């Protein structure tokens, strides 16, 4: 896009415009999403409370209610309390919003449709969502009001405490997938819904619910919403905010809700892959041409958004159903329940993948990949079968891909398609290209790092070569 | 006109933000604003880490340093920033001494950094097409396997270029000790002791 | 020598690290608030971290491989973790001092003087 603009304006302006267009597209997701979610929240709240919710603005269902609310907020007087620290008071909503928005940089909406494909995607999202707490603290302090300060402190303590079990819960699918790259994790769950990581083993299943609880606490949704406890603290840390500043806090909250739901969808529910491989059945893959591939990706994006909205609706359902927890109950849930359960699930997931290697259920995914081949991504362009259901892809695919990586194409995907548990296998695939004999000699010293009961290191080093040979003789 | 090197552009942007807010921490006298400027400065430093290709260290800086250590610091600031302690001015003599000391150190370090010829320019235009994955080698190095040094001869490896398993374990125990110690130090004491001590 | 078109090397990063280090030293030396001193410590450790990461980066080095390799990133990781631990203990000490003396001014911490 920058090159296109560069034909008309100086180069720096071209890049600036391209960056602005991309940012505008991403902000639209957050802003329009918030618009939709506020309406949805009011409708869901109404129905749960046995009433209708907004019905007047924009037809029978009140579609445009949020727009009317937004207009009202824009026209409100811009107040600031007298003792407030002016700079910090003005800055706090934007800090919260930026932190929530930055999570969308690394969140893929479909195969390859991500702003920045980060190698440490999961880690980056967790890190920037933890920065939202600064906006809250600043808002609480800068409002020069006791209610705000108490609300801000409580919320900061809660968010920071719940980052710990949330991190531990997120590590479980990362260790099963072997990569922190969200696009790779999504690709691995292609095919039928049995490939989804939530159904990989019972530990992952429980981990998802613990993750969801921690995510709800982390974005301050009920029943963990003491910071905005309307019945106790007036409105907590955003008591003194009105008009457009307040709406930034709300956009940040709904943006964070969508982001943690998106993370849950990718890590546990296959992301853009549907429960059934419909894109593959309809032939909407890149194999059949770029348009078909684009449509397949678009369908995947709709799938992803549907999953996110479903989980956001679940959060709203929980909010309007469950009573609010006290701060000591919140801390108790975190430290006495979530952290130990997450730790046990982590150990259990490790144990499952290592102690049950031969069974079909819970067989390490990477070993399945070695034997049966990787389900090919729909986004990349290569001349082999796409989105095949689990177990069907030909070995030639795996052999060709592994052979390519072993020969040293150093393709990032080729290098990371290999199982990542055993140091031996990682060394074999990443550094087999160098073929240095010291490397080969070192590998024998690394035998104790391999899985119990697996083949000795030298054999696993030659495994890619073996598969290449098998692929060669098959072709 | 040559095309803009966006790596350099973003380096200067992040470096400017980082240094400017670090200087603002020094010059400001309001403790809450100092904490906030420090947050921005360290966040910009994380951006510098990403530009240098260390994406894992950059994400860890954001997660642990900014999102953990600084939140702790801000909590401490909030607990103690009451009334007269929000803005405390330093005497002029202290400032002059500090300025002389730091000025001489800065005058020594910055020219020294630009003296070594290998450090001044990278070999190629540093806008990589593919950034190396550092997280897996880092993780494996912490577990005892240096997969980035497989090409080294065995004697050299045994002679001390080993992995980081022992420091990893030590740091884990260290964090446990710190947790216990800090919790003990900051426990609420019985009121009677405090009143007796203040007499 | 246009800064926007020339690639940056290790020395630019080291200059940034040096500036942050020096501001941290001034903060430690000249602030009366104990938490201001603690912020200086954070700045110092961060400046050192920038140095480590710059020297270990293959993108910025004059040859294809960097001088420190991955070791610099390991060291930076450990520095971050240890800085967090040290900040926690320092904060606990500061809060203890505040609870006992009702002040956070380091100039008033002179009970052991003389």
SS3 A113: strand
**Tens digit of pLDDT for each residue in A222-238?**
688 776 665 555 666 66
CB nearest to A128's CB, from B62, B134, B145: B62
In tens, the pLDDT along A329-348 reads 888 999 999 999 999 999 99
A415: which 2 tokens? 């290098």
Residue C52: what pLDDT?
A: 94
Both tokens of A308, joined, read 């996110």
**Taking all residues of chain C, what is their mean pLDDT, rounded to a whole number?**
87
3-class secondary structure per residue, C19-85: HHHHHHHHHHHHCCEHHHHHHHHHHHHHHHHHHHHHHCCCCCCCCCCCCCCCHHHHHHHHHHHHHHH
Nearest to A186 by CA among A89, A96, A121, A130: A121
Residues shown for chain C: 114
- Nearest of A139, A11, A348 to residue B36 by alpha carbon: A139
- Nearest CB to B67; choose among A12, A91, A127: A127
Contact assessment for residue B123 and residue C64, using Cβ atoms and an 8 Å cutoff:
yes
Question: Which residue in chain C has the smallest CA separation from B174?
Answer: C85
CB contact under 8 A, B15 and C12: yes
pLDDT of residue A371: 58
A5: closest CA of chain B, how far (Å):
14
C-alpha–C-alpha distance, residues C44 and B22, integer Å: 10
Contacts of A11 in chain B (CB under 8 A): 1, 3-4
Complex ipTM value: 0.91
In the predicted model, residues of chain A with pLDDT beneath 50 are 358-366, 374-475
pLDDT exceeds cutoff 60 at B72: yes
* Nearest beta carbon to residue B153 from set A427, A438, A446: A438
Contact A120 B130 (CB under 8 A): no
Q: Which pair of structure tokens corresponds to residue A388?
A: 């095949």
H or E stretch covering A469: helix A463-474
Tell me which residue has tokens 């749960």.
A48
**Per-residue pLDDT averaged across B143-155, rounded?**
67
pTM for the whole structure: 0.80
Task: Kindly state the average pLDDT of the residues B21-38.
Answer: 92
Residue of C nearest to B178 (CA): C85
The residues pairing with A460 across neighbouring beta strands, listed in sequence order, are none
Mean pLDDT, residues C80-105? 90
Q: Which residue has the higher pLDDT, A334 or B160?
A: A334
On whether the CB atoms of residues A342 and A168 are closer than 8 A, the answer is yes
The confidence score (pLDDT) of residue A67 equals 82
**Those residues with Cβ within 8 angstroms of residue A40's Cβ, 6 or more apart along the chain or in another chain:** A309, A312, A313, A316
User: Within an 8 Å CB–CB cutoff, is residue B49 touching chain A?
Assistant: no
Q: Identify the CA nearest to A169 among candidates A335, A305, A349.
A: A349
Which residues 38-97 on chain C approach chain B with CB closer than 8 angstroms?
Answer: 38-39, 42-43, 46, 49-50, 53-54, 56-64, 67, 69-70, 73-74, 76-78, 80-89, 91-96
Q: How far is B156 from chain C (nearest CA, A)?
A: 15
Structure tokens at A222: 């009920």
Residue of B nearest to A121 (CA): B59
Task: Confirm or reject contact between B162 and chain A (CB < 8 A).
Answer: no
User: Is residue B131 within 8 angstroms of chain A, CB to CB?
Assistant: yes
Task: Mark yes or no for CB contact B57/C80 under 8 Å.
Answer: yes
The answer to which of A273-282, C31-40, C78-87 has the lowest mean pLDDT is: A273-282
Q: Within its chain, how far is the Cα of B58 from the centroid?
A: 10
For B78-137, write each residue's pLDDT tens digit.
888 777 677 777 778 888 888 899 999 999 999 998 888 777 777 665 555 455 677 777
Q: Report pLDDT for A342.
A: 95
* CB nearest C4 (choices: B8, B114, B120): B8
Sort out which chain B residues have CB atoms less than 8 A from C83's CB and list them: 65, 69
pLDDT at A2: 64
- The partner residue sitting opposite C16, judged by closest CB among B18, B80, B94, is B18
According to the model, what pLDDT value does residue A236 have? 66
Question: Given an 8 Å threshold on Cβ–Cβ distance, is B194 in contact with C100?
Answer: yes
Q: Which residues have CB under 8 Å from A9's CB, separation 6+?
A: A17
- Tell me the C-alpha to C-alpha distance, in Å, between residue A149 and each of A40, A137, B34, B167, B180: 30, 8, 18, 40, 28
Q: Which residues, other chains included, contact B50 with Cβ-Cβ below 8 Å and sequence gap of 6+?
A: B58
pLDDT at A54: 82
Q: Which of A315, A323, A283 is nearest to A299 (CA)?
A: A283
Which residue of A103, A185, A438, A441 is the best one to mutate when testing the B interface, meaning the one whose CB has the most B CBs within 10 A?
Answer: A438
**Which among B56, B71, B150 is the nearest to A431, CB-wise?**
B150
- Report the alpha-carbon distance of residue C74 to residue B162 in Å, rounded: 12
The reported pLDDT for the residue numbered C62 is: 66
Residues on chain B touching A15 (C-beta within 8 angstroms):
4, 6
Q: What is the CA radius of gyration of chain C?
A: 19
Token pair listed for A193: 């819904």
C22 to chain B: nearest residue by CA? Answer: B102
Flag whether residue B99 sits within 8 Å of chain C, measured between CB atoms.
Answer: yes
Q: Which 3 state secondary structure label does DSSP give B160?
A: coil
Query: Strand locations in A11-114, DSSP E?
Result: none
**pLDDT band at residue C24, thresholds of 50, 70 and 90?**
very high
Touching A: which chains, 3+ CB pairs < 8 A? B
pLDDT digits (tens, 9 = 90+) for A419-456: 333 333 333 344 333 333 333 333 333 333 333 333 33
Contact B99 C26 (CB under 8 A): yes
A456 vs B6: which has the higher pLDDT: B6
pLDDT tens readout for residues B166-182:
899 999 999 999 999 98
A126 neighbors A97 (Cβ within 8 angstroms): no
Residue B131 Cα, gap to closest chain A Cα (Å): 9
| pLDDT at residue A52, rounded to an integer | 83
- What is the pLDDT at residue B90? 75
Residue among A353, A97, A72, A51 nearest A200 (CA): A353
Q: d(Cα A298, Cα A291) in Å, to the nearest integer? A: 10
Which chains neighbour B (Cβ–Cβ under 8 Å, 3 or more pairs)?
A: A, C
Rounded-to-integer distance, Cα A85 and Cα A250, Å: 22
């Amino acid at each position: 896009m920058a090159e296109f603009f560069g034909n008309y304006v100086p180069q720096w302006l071209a890049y600036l415009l391209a960056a602005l267009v991309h940012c505008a597209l991403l902000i639209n997701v957050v802003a329009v999403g918030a618009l939709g979610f506020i309406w949805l929240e009011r409708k869901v709240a109404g129905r749960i409370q046995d009433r209708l919710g907004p019905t007047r603005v924009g037809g029978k269902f009140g579609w445009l209610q949020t727009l009317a609310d937004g207009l009202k907020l824009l026209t409100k007087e811009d107040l600031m309390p007298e003792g407030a620290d002016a700079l910090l008071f003005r800055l706090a909503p934007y800090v919260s919003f930026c932190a929530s928005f930055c999570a969308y940089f690394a969140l893929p909406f479909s195969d390859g449709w991500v702003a920045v494909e980060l190698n440490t995607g999961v880690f980056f999202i967790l890190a920037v969502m933890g920065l939202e707490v600064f906006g809250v603290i600043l808002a609480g302090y800068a409002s020069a009001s006791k209610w705000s300060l108490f609300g801000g402190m409580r919320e900061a303590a809660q968010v920071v405490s719940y980052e710990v079990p949330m991190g531990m819960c997120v590590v479980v699918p990362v260790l099963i997938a072997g990569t922190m790259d969200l696009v790779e994790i999504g690709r691995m769950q292609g095919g039928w819904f049995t490939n989804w990581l939530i159904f990989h083993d019972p530990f992952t299943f429980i981990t998802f619910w613990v993750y969801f609880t921690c995510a709800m606490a982390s974005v301050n949704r009920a029943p963990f919403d003491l910071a905005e406890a309307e019945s106790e603290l007036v409105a907590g840390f955003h008591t003194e905010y009105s008009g457009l500043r307040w709406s930034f806090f709300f956009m940040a909250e709904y943006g964070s809700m969508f982001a943690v739901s998106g993370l849950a969808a990718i890590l546990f529910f296959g992301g853009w892959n549907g429960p059934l491989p419909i894109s593959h059945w309809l032939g909407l893959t890149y194999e059949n041409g770029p348009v078909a591939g684009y449509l397949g990706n678009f369908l995947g994006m709709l799938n992803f958004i549907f999953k996110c909205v479903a989980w956001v609706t679940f959060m709203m359902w929980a909010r309007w159903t469950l009573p609010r927890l006290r701060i000591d109950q919140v801390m108790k849930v975190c430290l006495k329940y979530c952290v130990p359960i997450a730790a046990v699930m982590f150990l259990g997931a490790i144990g499952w993948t290592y102690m049950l290697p031969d069974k079909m259920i819970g067989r390490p995914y990477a070993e399945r990949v070695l034997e049966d081949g990787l389900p090919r991504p729909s986004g990349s362009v290569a001349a082999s079968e796409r989105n095949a259901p689990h177990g069907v892809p030909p070995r030639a695919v795996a052999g060709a891909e592994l052979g390519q990586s072993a020969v040293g194409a150093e393709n990032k995907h080729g290098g990371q398609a290999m199982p990542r548990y055993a140091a031996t296998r990682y060394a074999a695939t990443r550094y087999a290209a160098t073929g240095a004999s010291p490397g080969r000699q070192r590998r024998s010293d690394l035998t104790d790092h391999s899985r119990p009961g697996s083949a000795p290191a030298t054999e696993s080093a030659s495994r890619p070569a073996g598969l290449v040979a098998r692929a060669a003789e098959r072709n | 006109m040559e095309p803009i090197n966006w790596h350099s552009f973003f380096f200067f942007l992040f470096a400017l933000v980082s240094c400017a807010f670090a200087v603002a921490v020094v010059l400001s006298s309001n403790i809450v604003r100092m904490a906030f400027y420090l947050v921005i400065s360290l966040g910009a430093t994380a951006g510098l880490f990403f530009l240098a290709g260390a994406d894992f260290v950059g994400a860890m800086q954001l997660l642990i340093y900014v999102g953990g250590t600084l939140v702790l610091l801000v909590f401490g600031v909030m607990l103690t920033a009451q009334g007269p302690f929000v803005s405390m001015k330093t005497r002029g003599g202290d400032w002059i001494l500090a300025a002389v000391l730091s000025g001489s150190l800065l005058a020594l370090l910055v020219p020294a950094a630009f003296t070594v010829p290998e450090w001044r320019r990278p070999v190629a235009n540093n806008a990589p097409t593919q950034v190396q994955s550092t997280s897996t080698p880092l993780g494996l190095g912490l577990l005892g396997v240096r997969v980035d040094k497989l090409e080294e001869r065995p004697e050299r490896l045994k002679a001390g270029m080993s992995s980081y398993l022992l420091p990893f374990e030590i740091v884990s125990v260290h964090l446990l000790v710190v947790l216990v110690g800090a919790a003990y130090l900051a426990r609420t004491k019985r009121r009677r002791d405090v009143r007796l001590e203040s007499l | 020598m246009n800064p926007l078109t020339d690639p940056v090397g290790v020395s630019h990063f080291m200059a940034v690290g040096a500036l942050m280090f020096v501001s941290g030293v001034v903060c430690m030396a000249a602030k009366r608030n104990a938490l201001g001193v603690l912020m200086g410590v954070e700045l110092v450790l961060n400046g050192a971290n920038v140095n480590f990461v710059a020297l270990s980066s293959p993108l910025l080095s004059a040859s294809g491989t960097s001088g420190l390799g991955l070791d610099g990133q390991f060291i930076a990781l450990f520095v971050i973790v240890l800085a967090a631990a040290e900040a926690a203990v320092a904060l606990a000490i500061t809060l203890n001092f505040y609870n006992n003396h009702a002040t956070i001014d380091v100039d008033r911490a002179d009970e052991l003087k003389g």
